[in-house]
């Protein structure tokens, strides 16, 4: 009985979140359905993911590799798109390059080169975001903004990667306008990369449960949401 109640709860939460995202698109003049919802499924059971996938949720984000690999295997019958959103070490690159479709957290050329070298030849290029530490927080990963052009230039030349855009995780901020200001900085950095390097980066991974609307207002193409979908509890089998 409890398991059934938990599944109903996350289905309701997902419905509410999708409505919230579509309302934000409408409010800020975005094309309906143009912002990809990445359901952050770390710590969640395969059953919880399967329940959300049944609601036509396709994109899922994981940041713990070993946990994620088990889910990818168990849910291989589903048409899921897997996003790796956690910090990376070189010894994780083979599995990440093999089993994921998008990487949101590249901030070193060494990591990018390994991902490119280890991407299976039969697979399409791996979609890559460069993580930017906009506020220079010592406790967060990400490249400094002034080093971004050099890294983007090198990564864009790697054969088995497709550089798609930038990602950032700002400090928590309750003020909507200040949330927008930080996200606008990431958008402007991407515009500058496209101008200086003659790139066509088209994606911005930014916005989570508490700042989703501000991210959509400033051009997010991917928002990463966990709590607003799965709730504060972990629904394990």
- 164: Cβ contacts below 8 Å, ≥ 6 apart: 102, 127, 128, 129, 201, 202, 203
- Tell me if 111 sits within 8 A of 131, measured CB to CB: no
Per DSSP, helices labelled H in the chain are: 2-27, 46-53, 65-74, 93-99, 109-118, 148-155, 176-197, 212-217, 227-230
pTM given for the model: 0.94
Q: What is the pLDDT of residue 237?
A: 39
* Domains contained in the chain, CATH given: 2-28+35-230 (3.20.20.10)
Q: Phi and psi dihedrals of 154, rounded to 5?
A: -70, -45
CB atoms within 10 A of CB 233: 12
For residue 142, the model assigns a pLDDT of 94
Q: What is the pLDDT of residue 139?
A: 79
Give kind and range of the element (H or E) at residue 105: strand 102-106
Pairwise CA distance, residues 40 & 49, whole Å: 10
167/128 Cα distance (integer angstroms): 10
Residue tagged 């994921």 (tokens): 100
What is the reported pLDDT for 141? 87
Both tokens of 71, joined, read 């889910």
Q: How many CB atoms lie within 10 A of CB 126?
A: 26
CA angle 134, 135, 136 (to 5 degrees): 95
CA dihedral 232, 42, 58, 79 (to 10 degrees): -140
What's the pLDDT at 5?
59
Whole-angstrom distance, CA of residue 179 vs CA of residue 154: 30
Q: Which residue has the tokens 């930014």?
A: 206
Tens-binned pLDDT, residue by residue, of the chain (237 aa): 446 657 888 889 999 999 999 999 999 999 999 999 999 999 999 999 999 999 999 999 999 999 999 999 999 999 999 999 999 999 999 999 999 999 999 999 999 999 999 999 999 999 999 999 998 887 788 999 999 999 999 999 999 999 999 999 999 999 999 999 999 999 999 999 999 999 999 999 999 999 999 999 999 999 999 989 988 654 443
Q: What is the predicted pLDDT for the residue at 7?
A: 81
HSE, side-chain direction, 13 A CA sphere, residue 207: 30
Instruction: Find where tokens 């607003």 sit.
Output: 228
**pLDDT at site 4:** 66
Look at residue 235 in the predicted model and tell me its pLDDT. 42
């Amino acid at each position: 009985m409890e398991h059934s109640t938990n599944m109903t709860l996350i289905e309701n939460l997902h419905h509410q979140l999708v409505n919230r995202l579509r309302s934000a698109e409408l409010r800020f003049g975005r094309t309906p359905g143009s912002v990809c919802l990445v359901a952050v499924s770390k710590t969640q059971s395969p059953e919880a993911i399967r329940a959300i996938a049944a609601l036509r949720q396709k994109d899922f984000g994981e940041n713990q590799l070993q946990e994620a690999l088990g889910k990818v295997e168990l849910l291989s019958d589903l048409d899921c798109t897997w996003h790796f959103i956690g910090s990376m070490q070189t010894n994780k690159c083979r599995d990440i390059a093999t089993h994921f479709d998008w990487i949101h957290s590249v901030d070193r050329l060494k990591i990018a080169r390994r991902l490119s070298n280890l991407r299976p030849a039969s697979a399409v290029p791996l979609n890559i975001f460069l993580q930017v530490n906009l506020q220079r927080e010592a406790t967060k990963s990400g490249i400094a903004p002034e080093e971004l052009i050099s890294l983007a230039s090198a990564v864009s030349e790697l054969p088995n990667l497709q550089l798609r855009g930038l990602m950032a995780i700002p400090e928590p901020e309750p003020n909507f306008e200040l949330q927008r200001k930080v996200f606008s900085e990431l958008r402007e950095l991407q515009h500058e990369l496209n101008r200086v390097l003659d790139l066509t980066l088209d994606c911005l991974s930014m916005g989570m449960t508490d700042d989703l609307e501000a991210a959509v207002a400033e051009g997010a193409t991917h928002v990463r949401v966990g709590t607003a979908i799965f709730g504060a509890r972990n629904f394990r089998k």
